[in-house]
Amino acid sequence: MPSEQWTHPEPGDGPAAVAAQPSPEQVIAGLRATSEGGAELTQLLTPEGERVPSPQFDKYVDDIDAEALRGLYRDMVLVRRADREANAMQRQGQLGIWVPLLGQEAAQIGSGRALRANDMAFPSYREHGVAFARGVDMKDLLGIFRCTDHSGWDYQRHGFHPYTIVIGNQVLNAAGYAMGQKFEGKVGDDDGEATIVYFGDGATSQGDVHEGFVWAAVYDAPLVFFCQNNQWAISEPTERQSRLPLYQRARGYGFPGIRVDGNDVLACLAVSRWALDECRHGNGPVLIEAFTYRMDAHTTTDDPTRYRLSDELEEWKLKDPIERVRAFLARGGGADQAFFDDVQAEADAFAADLRDYTFNMPEPPPDRIFSNVYAEGNPVLEAQREEFLSYLDGFASAGEH
């Protein structure tokens, strides 16, 4: 029962006691109490790589044979390898910042692969795996982090909205988009469209996320709220965001919430397909809490050793999303060593390509500063652009002499 994770404070404990800063021991104790995700955690593949039957969700992954599972494994390995390469490139000064996804590959690939071409995904800023699943060239993502661009892909072609840095904003934007799908009559049968929006456990404290829940609910929007609870919002643990498991919040808004093992790609795929299916048929919205863990820092500017203990990290390493698929494939004969070697070689080549591209990424021309501020132009800005370019030209002319 979910209530096992959650004890209501006795009157004597009161809000003041709850609000007091927890000691590191209390934080760790709290995490250990919830690190299994609770009795209601949907899981199809254990950390040991054993298949767990699920009467409710097996049908959503009927088509995932060994070949398809190898595909999901490959996705996760490539995405992780790209993530590690980008992290290294930041350390080498080639990227201004990086937002690691290490540990969240299953949540992102599982949900991302559940989407169809006509669906729309609204990411936060850590959704590199979802971007990959949506067919976005990861080179186009890196411009953001090398600070040459804010968003380099065609959002319509990929069904993948620009990254959103301000916490929670995209949840309302996604609710609006999904309302549009509903208004256009694009829901109601198997061919219906749906929208998915990604946010973290920290974002659930934002007003925009609450408002997004309200809007999606009252307009019956075909929207899947995909919360990746990676346990930490920079240094703030989940218990600084909520007194109860996050997926249970959905009930207060009048739609279903479900907690899935976010390190289980099969379960993430199944649950996302189910939730999207509900939306396609007009039964949305749905909240999914993918119970996972951020294995690396929040960003490359962060130092998680200041706020969390290494045994917590060690515990989560045992639940690695890639290793369990590998174990399952290897044990059941779904893949041999040659396959794993091939994927690793492909991942290394993928990373090398990203590295080459990053090192040679062209810098935008100065007048890009002024481009596309407005769709219909702005004479004041045009004058500013002219003046600035003429100022720059002055240097060029001076250099010729």
Place of tokens 């652009």: 385
State yes or no: is 307 an active-site residue. yes
**Peptide bond before residue 162 is cis, with ω within 30 degrees of 0:** no
**Binding residues among 298-337 for another protein as defined by CB under 8 A:** none
Report the distance separating Cα 133 and Cα 116, nearest Å: 10
State yes or no: is 298 an active-site residue. yes
Residue tagged active-site, from 113, 126, 158, 298 = 298
Report the distance separating Cα 187 and Cα 160, nearest Å: 19
Report the distance separating Cα 264 and Cα 269, nearest Å: 9
The upper half-sphere exposure of residue 222, i.e. CA atoms within 13 Å in the direction of its Cβ, equals: 30
Q: How far is the CB of 366 from another protein (least distance, A)?
A: 15
Place of tokens 């240094």: 235
Interaction of residue 379 with another protein, rule CB under 8 A: yes
**Binding residues among 204-263 for another protein as defined by CB under 8 A:** 207-208, 211-212, 214-215, 218
Residue tagged active-site, from 294, 308, 326, 355 = 294
Burial of 115 (0-12, 13-18, 19+ CB in 10 A): buried
Q: How far is the CB of 335 from another protein (least distance, A)?
A: 39
Q: How far is the CB of 250 from another protein (least distance, A)?
A: 17
Residue 194 in tokens: 């749906």
For another protein, the binding residue among 376, 397, 400, 401 (CB under 8 A) is 376
Contacting range for another protein; rule: CB under 8 A; set: 101-109, 178-186, 294-302, 345-353: 178-186
Provide CB contacts within 8 A for 326, sequence distance 6+: 49, 73, 335, 340
Contacting range for another protein; rule: CB under 8 A; set: 5-13, 247-255, 351-359, 366-374: 366-374
3-state secondary structure of 59: helix
Interaction of residue 391 with another protein, rule CB under 8 A: no
- Nearest CB to another protein, comparing residues 338 and 380: 380
For another protein, the binding residue among 117, 147, 345, 381 (CB under 8 A) is 381
Note the residue count of the chain.
401
Interaction of residue 271 with another protein, rule CB under 8 A: no
For another protein, the binding residue among 28, 172, 246, 271 (CB under 8 A) is 172
Residue tagged active-site, from 51, 70, 219, 307 = 307
Interaction of residue 362 with another protein, rule CB under 8 A: no
- Nearest CB to another protein, comparing residues 364 and 394: 364
Interaction of residue 380 with another protein, rule CB under 8 A: yes
DSSP E strand stretches across 14-126? 120-122
Report the distance separating Cα 131 and Cα 395, nearest Å: 41
3-state secondary structure of 242: coil
To 5 degrees, how large is the angle CA 295–CA 300–CA 302?
75
Interaction of residue 174 with another protein, rule CB under 8 A: yes
3-state secondary structure of 290: strand
Interaction of residue 97 with another protein, rule CB under 8 A: no
Interaction of residue 340 with another protein, rule CB under 8 A: no
Report the distance separating Cα 351 and Cα 340, nearest Å: 16
State yes or no: is 294 an active-site residue. yes
**Binding residues among 142-161 for another protein as defined by CB under 8 A:** 149-151, 154-156, 161
Count of positions on this chain that bind another protein (CB under 8 A)? 42
Interaction of residue 183 with another protein, rule CB under 8 A: yes
Burial of 377 (0-12, 13-18, 19+ CB in 10 A): exposed
DSSP state of 10: P
- Nearest CB to another protein, comparing residues 98 and 215: 215
**Binding residues among 189-208 for another protein as defined by CB under 8 A:** 207-208
DSSP state of 232: E
Closest CA to 171 of 214, 220, 118: 214
Q: How far is the CB of 362 from another protein (least distance, A)?
A: 14
Active site members = 294, 298, 307
Tell me which residues touch another protein (CB under 8 A): 122, 149-151, 154-156, 161-162, 164, 166, 169, 171-181, 183-184, 207-208, 211-212, 214-215, 218, 371-376, 378-381
